[in-house]
Structure 1
Amino acid sequence: MTSVVQRPVPTTAGPAAPTGPVARSRRGRAPALLVGWGSVAGVVALVPLVYLVVRALENGPGLFVTVLGRPRTLELLASSVLLAGSVTAVCVVVGSLAAWLVVRTDLPGRRVLAVLFALPLAVPSYVAGFTWISEWPASAGFWGAFGVLAAVSFPYVYLPVVGALRAADGGMEDVARSLGHGPARVLLGVTLRQAWPAATAGGLLAALYVLSDFGAVSLMRYDTFTLGIYTSYRGTFDRTPAAVLGCVLVALAALVTLGEARARGRAAHRVARGAARPAAPVRLGGARLPWLAFSGLVVGVSLGIPAWSLTHWMIVGSSLGLDLPDLGAAALVTLQVAALGALLTTVLAIPVGVLAARYRGRATAALETSTYIAHALPGITVGLALVFLGIRLLPGIYQETPLLVLAYAVLFLPLAVGSIRAAVAATPARLEEVSRSLGHGRVATLARVTVPLAAPGVAAGAALVFLTVAKELPATLLLRPTGDDTLAIRLWTHTGAGQYAAAAPYAILLVVLAAVPVLLLDRAVRR
């Protein structure tokens, strides 16, 4: 009989739980090259935090405390927590159930649904917001922001849970059924429990995404920290209030990250000889129609509404013709900066992911957590931090592509770190020990064994960063070289002027480009 013990399951995102005071494991102390390389990534990730602290305290702690205690600050805190908590809860439920339907049941059309459930990740929040607000202006406010962000964020949970369920041992479910447990109890007590670490890790990314979102909340006119920071920066020459709000947002992101680590807990994990037993599909029987209706509702809200609205505005604007040269130039710039951003981010993420998977300790946990901080900051805060850095320290690259690519690395480092950490943790550590026993050093083992075995996870992380960079807006607005407009910028320019028909081609092309890495991600997860 399969033996079951309680131990952590590797997840796709989220900082690893610390197990010791230093970055070391039974394989010994981490290589100095790996630690130094990872420290560079940590320093890069903390650039916005240093900027915020300097700005927030430059006029003394008294003003910091005054801004912190303003009713406006408390209102923004309450509205941000309400939105992030509501969206994350829905994402965890919808993403987990969608993954269960396509992996563990006999639902008709589940192979098609597996792709459709992943595709909303390719829809930028401001594109979804544009489609909602252009068709239903009354959707503005909390419910509009909640609907838009939940519709585009649930794949952050769906994808890792699919991977977790495919890797989980179906024998545990068979044992539960043999003990007389019903389908609902098996689903909640065994199946989803095995996927809980992956669900909470995806929930962390969804929560940080909501906290940092600017496009949807601005279009829906719902006040959160991101919109409050933007308004403060635009409304006054004094940057202190905006910096204080940014510090509060950083603290909130840290609390969310720590909360995710605690909520992840310890999941049931199989320890036995041989391969994991595949699970028998759950026969839905008479429940097929309700579950098909659930799937249709999810796909309709997340993909149907944007597709219908964009098609509508494309037809409306067809008489105006397409500016193909401008569309092509924006697409080329988007592809270029997305590729460079994905490359730099992945290079910086590799040491952090390896350290988190193989050399866990307090120092490693702190390093990994530091990479998650900036992910919760709005792109405008990260952009202004790098504007400050460029003007003061690196004037040669201010408003040049290298500084823009560095901003992408700061913003999206956690996306690659989580994927790489999970891939490395899933590879057999014994192969590295064999390499060491044959006389290869730690660095040679890293290059010849660890990274090649984790290559699918590295590629998945790079793809996720690529599609996220392609959708990024605020930091690109501040840091792009003059005249280099991405598809997101051209879309935002037309939308801001109320030119919905002119914006539609840019939105459609942006979604198509982002859909390619999403499909690759989905294929990698399903394999």
Structure 2
Amino acid sequence: MRRGASARRPGILTLIAILVSCFALLPLGFVGYMVLSSGWQNVVTLVFRARVAELLGNTAALVALTVPLCLLLGIGGAWLVERSNLVGQRIWSVALVAPLAIPAFVNSYAWASAIPSLAGLGGGVLISTLSYFPFVYLPVAASLARLDPALEQAAATLGRGPFRVFFTVVLPQIRIPVLGGALLVALHLLSEYGAFAFIRFDTFTTAIYDQFQSTFNGPAANMLTGVLVLICLALLLIEGRARGRARYARLGGGVQGKPERRRLGSLQPMTQLLLLALVAAAVVLPLAQVIRWLVAGGAEVWARNELVSSLLSTAGLGLLAAVCTVLAALPLAYLSVRRPGFLSKSLESVNYISSSIPGIVVALALVTITIRLLPVVYQSIVVLLLAYVLLFIPRALINIRTGLAQAPRELEEAAQSLGKRPSLAFLRTTARLSAPAIASAAALVFLGVVNELTATLILSPTGTRTLATEFWSLSSEIDYAGAAPYALLMVLLSAPVTYLLFVQSKKAIGQ
């Protein structure tokens, strides 16, 4: 009986994962249909032109520069906190996660108001790096704290220096969170709009938005989206090949000993200054600029009736989207870790590709589909939530996948051998061990909803406002003082969730 139930569960999970992935293909199918309906001659004319080459160069340069910088800051910060005698480790461990509480477009708003001349690739790399490096730091720090130090100690006794130990012993063991974080950063770069629009840096996403909103040139925008999808596919293939099929789970609830912390010695003051500069640029300066505009605006900026309603709408949508997205990502993550193969990788990749499509294209696809097939749900909260699931499922998928990968399947199999039903065995072993990762995934989705802009502008039911849309409306009119309260509320709403994300990452490693 247990064997039959065990056989049914993968089948049911596979069916759910296929349904979720088919839904995720809707925006991609919309783009494909629009491309095919344009005709081959128009495709050639619209794709092979100087503007596309310019956007491709900008996007490629942005990814090529930002991802390595985020890896350097994320891995370096994680190593300092978890493997060195850094003074104030607990403070720095929280401070390096804090940039997640500040939306990228608020960061851009702050830097643009502080340095009006900030623009172009340099500005894009600066703001993106400051906004996104915690996506690498957080999972890498959690994995470093979880690693068994015996392997590093054994390598050290064989005469290997600290750098060689890190690159030959530690780095291979944290490959999954490193690659997952890098992929998450790259996907954000491909789909980000607001942060780059502020500093007048053109990417595929800003160009697509301009085409749809300014010239209403649908075919040209769909051609650009097609190129963007191809870029995302290339990134997914690289990440999937680098990740491979290796397992990194470890039996046991803790490590046998504490890891040896490297002494920084004379580098301690310089390290403290570098970390202080990083946190000042990513957190202190944006907050200082928001406060500056609040002071300039005075009490009048707090008198807007939309403030409270926008706050409540944002919080409610964030909670609903977090629950829906985690439930959609769980079957995909389970198959990816427990049933690796062509099907699971394909289903996983479908969701990554769909999420790389800019929010405006996802929104327009859902608008078109609902008007033609389901007019009863057009301009409803349901459609908006579906858009959030499409956009943010990689955030949940990457984190849940990492949590499941570190939960030994042997414990689940042992529970089944003792008579537990497969579903109960999963809940009492794998689900419990993966709970911090699941909570982290939900927190990341909530943060994504707080920061989401373009899809919300199009899909929000009449009268529904969020902090992000109100902020964008006012800041686009150069009313920086009027936009400041919304920016501050976004930060205050995101801060507790960011701290929860940090706490859950510590629970995942038993600290």
Q: Same fold (TM over 0.5)?
A: yes
Q: Distance in 2 between matches of 1:75 and 1:448?
A: 53
> Does the alignment pair 1:431 with 2:411?
yes
Q: Distance in 1 between matches of 2:421 and 2:110?
A: 55
Cα 1:441–1:36 change in 2 (3 A) is farther
Which of structures 1 and 2 has the larger relative contact order (alpha carbons within 8 angstroms, sep 6+)?
1
Q: Is the 8 A contact 1:171 1:278 kept in 2?
A: no
Q: Distance in 2 between matches of 1:393 and 1:272?
A: 50
Q: Distance in 2 between matches of 1:444 and 1:180?
A: 47
Q: Is the 8 A contact 1:34 1:351 kept in 2?
A: yes
Q: Is the 8 A contact 2:249 2:406 kept in 1?
A: no
- Which residue in 1 is equivalent to 2:262? 282
Q: Distance in 2 between matches of 1:29 and 1:255?
A: 34
Q: Deviations over 1:62-101 (max 9, x none)?
A: 2112211111111111111111121111000110000011
Q: Deviations over 1:97-140 (max 9, x none)?
A: 00011111111111101001001111111100100111211012
Q: Distance in 1 between matches of 2:484 and 2:271?
A: 33
Q: Is the 8 A contact 1:31 1:443 kept in 2?
A: no
Q: Distance in 2 between matches of 1:150 and 1:96?
A: 13
- Which residue in 1 is equivalent to 2:23? 44
TM-score of the superposition, structure 1-length normalised? 0.90
- Which residue in 2 is equivalent to 1:137? 116
Letter in 2 for 1:333: S
Moved more, 297-306 or 274-283: 274-283
Letter in 2 for 1:287: L
Q: Is the 8 A contact 2:176 2:402 kept in 1?
A: no
1:93 is aligned, of 68, 72, 85, to: 72
- Which residue in 1 is equivalent to 2:3? none
**1:198 deviation in Å?**
1.6
**1:417 deviation in Å?**
1.3
Moved more, 215-224 or 57-66: 57-66
Q: Distance in 1 between matches of 2:101 and 2:337?
A: 28
1:311 is aligned, of 266, 287, 291, to: 291
Moved more, 427-436 or 142-151: 427-436
- Which residue in 1 is equivalent to 2:141? 162
**1:186 deviation in Å?**
3.2
Q: Is the 8 A contact 1:153 1:206 kept in 2?
A: yes
Q: Distance in 1 between matches of 2:326 and 2:179?
A: 23
1:211-250 residue pairs with structure 2 within 5 A?
Answer: 211-250=190-229
1:495 is aligned, of 450, 467, 475, to: 475
2:440 is aligned, of 440, 460, 463, to: 460
Q: Is the 8 A contact 2:79 2:141 kept in 1?
A: yes
- Which residue in 2 is equivalent to 1:117? 96
- Which residue in 2 is equivalent to 1:376? 356
- Which residue in 2 is equivalent to 1:332? 312
Cα 1:300–1:267 change in 2 (3 A) is farther
Q: Distance in 2 between matches of 1:133 and 1:426?
A: 42
Q: Is the 8 A contact 1:55 1:243 kept in 2?
A: yes
**1:465 deviation in Å?**
0.6
Letter in 2 for 1:73: V
Q: Deviations over 1:276-310 (max 9, x none)?
A: 54211111111101111211121111112101111
SS at match of 1:130: helix
> Does the alignment pair 1:259 with 2:238?
yes
Cα 1:354–1:266 change in 2 (3 A) is closer
**1:234 deviation in Å?**
2.3
Identity of aligned residues (%): 37
Q: Distance in 2 between matches of 1:454 and 1:146?
A: 34
- Which residue in 2 is equivalent to 1:194? 173
**1:215 deviation in Å?**
0.6
SS at match of 1:498: coil
- Which residue in 1 is equivalent to 2:347? 367
Q: Which runs of 5+ in 2 are unaligned?
A: 1-5
Q: Is the 8 A contact 2:399 2:437 kept in 1?
A: yes
Letter in 1 for 2:72: V
Letter in 2 for 1:77: L
Cα 1:252–1:337 change in 2 (3 A) is same
**1:405 deviation in Å?**
0.3
Cα 1:342–1:139 change in 2 (3 A) is same
Q: Distance in 2 between matches of 1:171 and 1:478?
A: 54
SS at match of 1:58: helix
Q: Distance in 2 between matches of 1:267 and 1:356?
A: 12
Q: Deviations over 1:331-375 (max 9, x none)?
A: 000011111111111111111111111111100110011111122
Q: Is the 8 A contact 2:400 2:441 kept in 1?
A: yes
Q: Distance in 2 between matches of 1:272 and 1:443?
A: 21
Moved more, 442-451 or 225-234: 442-451
Letter in 2 for 1:219: F
> Does the alignment pair 1:300 with 2:272?
no
Q: Is the 8 A contact 2:75 2:140 kept in 1?
A: yes
Q: Distance in 2 between matches of 1:449 and 1:267?
A: 21
TM-score of the superposition, structure 2-length normalised? 0.93
Moved more, 330-339 or 263-272: 263-272
Q: Is the 8 A contact 1:103 1:166 kept in 2?
A: yes
Letter in 2 for 1:114: S
Q: Distance in 1 between matches of 2:244 and 2:430?
A: 27
How many pairs align?
501
Q: Distance in 1 between matches of 2:371 and 2:89?
A: 53
Moved more, 66-75 or 478-487: 66-75
Q: Distance in 2 between matches of 1:190 and 1:282?
A: 16
Cα 1:327–1:247 change in 2 (3 A) is same
Q: Distance in 2 between matches of 1:180 and 1:268?
A: 27
Cα 1:438–1:173 change in 2 (3 A) is closer
Q: Which runs of 5+ in 1 are unaligned?
A: 1-26
**1:184 deviation in Å?**
3.3
Q: Is the 8 A contact 2:248 2:406 kept in 1?
A: no
Q: Distance in 1 between matches of 2:11 and 2:244?
A: 31
**1:430 deviation in Å?**
2.2
Letter in 2 for 1:284: L
Q: Distance in 1 between matches of 2:203 and 2:301?
A: 38
**1:453 deviation in Å?**
4.0
**1:185 deviation in Å?**
3.2
> Does the alignment pair 1:475 with 2:455?
yes
**1:321 deviation in Å?**
4.5
> Does the alignment pair 1:178 with 2:151?
no
- Which residue in 2 is equivalent to 1:74? 53
